[in-house]
Amino acid sequence: MQKQTNFGTESIRKLLIQQSIPAALGILVLSIYSIVDTIFIGQYIGGIGIAAITIVSPITFLVSSIGLGIGMGGGSLISIKLGKDDVNSAKNIFGNQSLMILFFSILFIGGGFLFANSILSGFGAHGEILTASHEYFFFTLLGLPFFMGQMMLNNVLRAEGKARLAMFVLILPSVLNIVLDAIFITQLDMGLNGAALATAISQLSGVLIGVILILRSSQITPSLVNFKFSGKLIRSISSLGSVQFFSQASMSIVVIIANNLLMKYGGDVAISAYGLDLRIMMFAFFPVIGIVQGFMPVAGYNFGAGNIERVKEAIKQSFISSTIIGILIMVTMLLFLDPILRIFTSELELIELAKVALFYFVVGFPLLGIQQVSTSYFQAIGKAKPALWLTLAKQFILIPTMFILPLWYGLEGIWYTIPITEIATTILVLFFFVKDVRSITEN
């Protein structure tokens, strides 16, 4: 069977551009919808609305961690199998990914509806914020299965080199979300319910687009037999996907802890500022995510094919591009902190606090690309354990620091933890990364 990818022969730089740009554009549009969503909520509902979506965001992070974990874990396996020209095994992987999405969908919807009040209170919501969070939570829950499916299908298409098609799984639903936000929030006055419903409908459209593309354009279009449960495949997908899962899931834990500490040291406005800055940083991060998502299938395919020098070249090119882009983004954001924040809200107290916090988010930005490429390298070549531990190391540094520094510095101490964590994590990740690259070169 003739391979439909050119990962083993094409110029590495050209491959990374071909894979990274569509991935980055997809993430860009996904980020734009998140930004526009926040603008609508901030301008038409106010700071309390931003606080509500910040309270609910750990659930969104957790669900995206499962969707991305299943998608990227299975995607890494699919890339390796296609590098070995084992298409049937790739189809079986896709079938078991789908079964995993179905299981978690049932689990989250059932648990979410049964324990909504306890969940939101535990996440730091009280009083007016708790009421607003309930309003946003209902339709968010209904959209969770589609969100997981959308993330999985996007990564499956990228794993077989179809980055341009994968882009549409994110772009078209994001455009739809923006349109629906305008209708539901500004025209129908549906408030937070409208924002959440718009997101759920757009996520459903993402799944429908992804399924159509898999059926029409993929070389791993499955048949019924490929949906047979395999404990071995589930474990393999979970093992490699655990990197992405724990990365995103640990972010949920960080946000929950941060929300509670921010409420203690700064009140409602501090939660709003934190949530606003998180969304801005997620938007700014899109080029780095694009580079990493372009890097992984190229590295995984060539590792599976035994082309170690091409893996090393992919690492080098990804390091250089992500660092340069990180520096440019940092400088740009530092120059325009105030105008950026005024796009989202006119509340002066919120703007001033968010400006202080955003500064500390931004100064460590150039290091993020190095961290992401290094940990993704381990995941791409099938080494789940080091990828997992290096991903968790960041949270092991961040969480204790977040508790300790506010004891001396109050609210400012929470912001100080961000650059401190980035520097320490980068040093740790590079140590193990360099050691492993030397090892595979010698072997």
pLDDT at 154 over 80: yes
What range does the domain containing 260 cover? 12-442
Q: What is the pLDDT of residue 1?
A: 33
Least confident of 200-214, 242-256, 306-320: 242-256
Mean pLDDT of 234-241: 83
Average pLDDT, the chain: 84
Chain segment 321-341, per-residue pLDDT in tens: 999 999 999 999 999 988 988
Query: How far apart are alpha carbons 325 and 315 in whole angstroms?
Result: 15
- Alpha-carbon separation of residue 143 from 106, 118, 146, 173, 219 (angstroms): 12, 20, 5, 13, 29
- How many C-beta neighbours within 10 Å does residue 148 have? 27
pLDDT at 116 over 90: no
Mean pLDDT of 383-393: 80
- How many C-beta neighbours within 10 Å does residue 286 have? 21
Domain count across the chain: 1
pLDDT band, residue 205 (cuts 50/70/90): very high
Q: Do residues 274 and 406 touch, judged by C-beta distance below 8 A?
A: no
Two structure tokens written together for 16: 């990374």
In a domain, 1, yes or no: no
Two structure tokens written together for 255: 């946000």
Q: What is the pLDDT of residue 209?
A: 93
Q: What is the pLDDT of residue 5?
A: 52
Q: Do residues 113 and 141 touch, judged by C-beta distance below 8 A?
A: yes
Query: How far apart are alpha carbons 373 and 72 in whole angstroms?
Result: 14
Phi, psi of 234 (to 5 degrees): -60, -45
In a domain, 46, yes or no: yes
In a domain, 294, yes or no: yes
Percent of the chain surpassing pLDDT 70: 97
Q: What is the pTM of this model?
A: 0.70
In a domain, 298, yes or no: yes
The one-character DSSP state at 187 is: I
In a domain, 435, yes or no: yes
Highest mean pLDDT of the ranges 212-221, 225-234, 265-274? 265-274
Mean pLDDT of 71-84: 81
In a domain, 309, yes or no: yes
pLDDT at 105 over 70: yes
Q: What is the pLDDT of residue 422?
A: 92
Mean pLDDT of 284-309: 83
Query: How far apart are alpha carbons 354 and 269 in whole angstroms?
Result: 9
Tell me the chain's radius of gyration from C-alpha atoms. Answer: 21
Q: What is the pLDDT of residue 2?
A: 36
Least confident of 24-33, 78-87, 432-441: 24-33
Query: How far apart are alpha carbons 78 and 89 in whole angstroms?
Result: 8
In a domain, 17, yes or no: yes
* Number of continuous H segments (helices) and E segments (strands) in the chain: 16, 0
Q: How many Cα atoms occupy the beta-carbon half-sphere of 357 within 13 Å? A: 25
pLDDT band, residue 191 (cuts 50/70/90): confident
- How many C-beta neighbours within 10 Å does residue 381 have? 22
pLDDT at 8 over 90: no
Mean pLDDT of 344-362: 88
In a domain, 5, yes or no: no
pLDDT at 278 over 80: yes
